[in-house]
């Protein structure tokens, strides 16, 4: 595993996956309290917020179908660039909702928030699926399961870093359960960080999603060394003395 992670073809995509998750700071905690606030927010009930998330979860399956039907044959760099761009643009819907521009456009809160959640979940799934496929292409022969688990740990660390970063930004800008004055600024910072991730797309290989990414000699290195060790083994005759009773 240590020898594999040192290859640029492996550590560069792994670094991108971590940074793309970590830089998209989480603002869900602040948005949840804003959703239910009767003064600053739209005063949604907690039950309706749960319905919003349930509808978003169903919409994520649409994202999987879109990826499987139309996007699975694109090169990794192209599809991840497009997905990250859509992910950044879709984040602006939160900013529009926080600033209540949807009311100025004549769109009710209930309709807009459900539309925003569905679009966000679909784009998130389209962005997530190529990363999973890419992770499977980075696993060398013989330790596929162990190395894939390592890559998933890196992704989990990125998600955890996203929550830490979001909590720190909310704390620094004094966004609390009752004070949402700077919540729009937190959303704007999050969206700018998402756009900044596009500058790291060079870390992703240009290979297609069905191509082999890691060097072929890495796949046979372990087996070759084992065969060489077997050839150097000398068979030593075993002398067994008969014991007379």
- Which residue ranges make up each domain of the chain? 1-208
Residue 159: CB atoms within 10 Å: 14
Q: How long is the chain?
A: 245
Q: Are 221 and 141 in contact (CB under 8 A)?
A: no
Q: Are 209 and 76 in contact (CB under 8 A)?
A: yes
Class of residue 13 by CB neighbours under 10 A (exposed 0-12, middle 13-18, buried 19+): buried
Q: What is the pLDDT of residues 172-227, one digit of tens each?
A: 999 988 889 999 999 999 999 999 999 999 999 888 878 777 765 665 554 444 44
Q: Are 116 and 97 in contact (CB under 8 A)?
A: yes
Q: What is the pLDDT of residues 135-148, one digit of tens each?
A: 888 888 778 888 88
How far does Cα 105 stand from its chain's mean position? 33
Q: b/e map of 110-127 (b: 16 or more CB within 10 Å)?
A: eebbbbbbbbbbbbbbbb
Q: Does residue 236 surpass a pLDDT of 90?
A: no
Q: Which two tokens stand for residue 93?
A: 């819907």
Homologous superfamily in CATH for domain 1-208: MFS general substrate transporter like domains (1.20.1250.20)
Q: How high is the pLDDT of residue 235?
A: 47
Q: How high is the pLDDT of residue 136?
A: 87
Query: Average per-residue pLDDT in the chain?
Result: 84
Closest of 1, 64, 24 to residue 155, by C-alpha: 24
Q: In 3-state terms, what secondary structure has residue 215?
A: coil
Q: What is the value of pTM for the model shown? A: 0.82
Three-state helix/strand/coil letters over 7-55: CHHHHHHHHHHHHHHHCCCCCHHHHHHHHHCCCCCCCCCHHHHHHHHHH
Q: How high is the pLDDT of residue 224?
A: 47
Average pLDDT over residues 39-44: 86
Q: Phi then psi for 138, rounded to 5 degrees?
A: -95, 0
Q: Phi then psi for 11, rounded to 5 degrees?
A: -75, -30
């Amino acid at each position: 595993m240590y020898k594999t992670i040192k290859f640029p073809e492996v550590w560069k995509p792994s670094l991108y996956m971590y940074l793309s998750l970590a830089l998209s700071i989480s603002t869900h905690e602040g948005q949840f309290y804003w959703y239910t606030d009767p003064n600053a927010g739209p005063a949604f009930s907690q039950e309706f917020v749960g319905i919003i998330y349930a509808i978003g979860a169903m919409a994520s399956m649409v994202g999987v179908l879109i990826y499987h039907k139309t996007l699975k044959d694109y090169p990794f760099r192209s599809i991840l660039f497009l997905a990250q761009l859509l992910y950044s643009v879709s984040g602006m819907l939160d900013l529009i909702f926080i600033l209540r521009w949807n009311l100025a456009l004549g769109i009710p809160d209930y309709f807009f928030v459900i539309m925003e959640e569905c679009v966000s979940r679909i784009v998130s799934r389209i962005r997530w699926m190529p990363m999973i496929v890419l992770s499977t292409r980075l696993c060398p022969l013989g330790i596929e399961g162990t190395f894939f688990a390592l890559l998933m740990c890196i992704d989990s660390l990125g998600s955890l870093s996203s929550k830490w970063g979001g909590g720190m930004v909310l704390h620094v800008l004094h966004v609390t359960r009752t004070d949402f004055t700077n919540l729009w600024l937190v959303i704007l910072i999050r969206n700018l960080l998402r756009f900044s991730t596009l500058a790291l797309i060079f870390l992703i290989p240009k290979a297609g999603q069905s191509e082999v990414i890691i060097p072929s000699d890495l796949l046979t290195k372990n087996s070759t060394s084992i065969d060489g060790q077997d050839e150097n083994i000398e068979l030593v005759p075993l002398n067994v003395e008969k014991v007379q009773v």
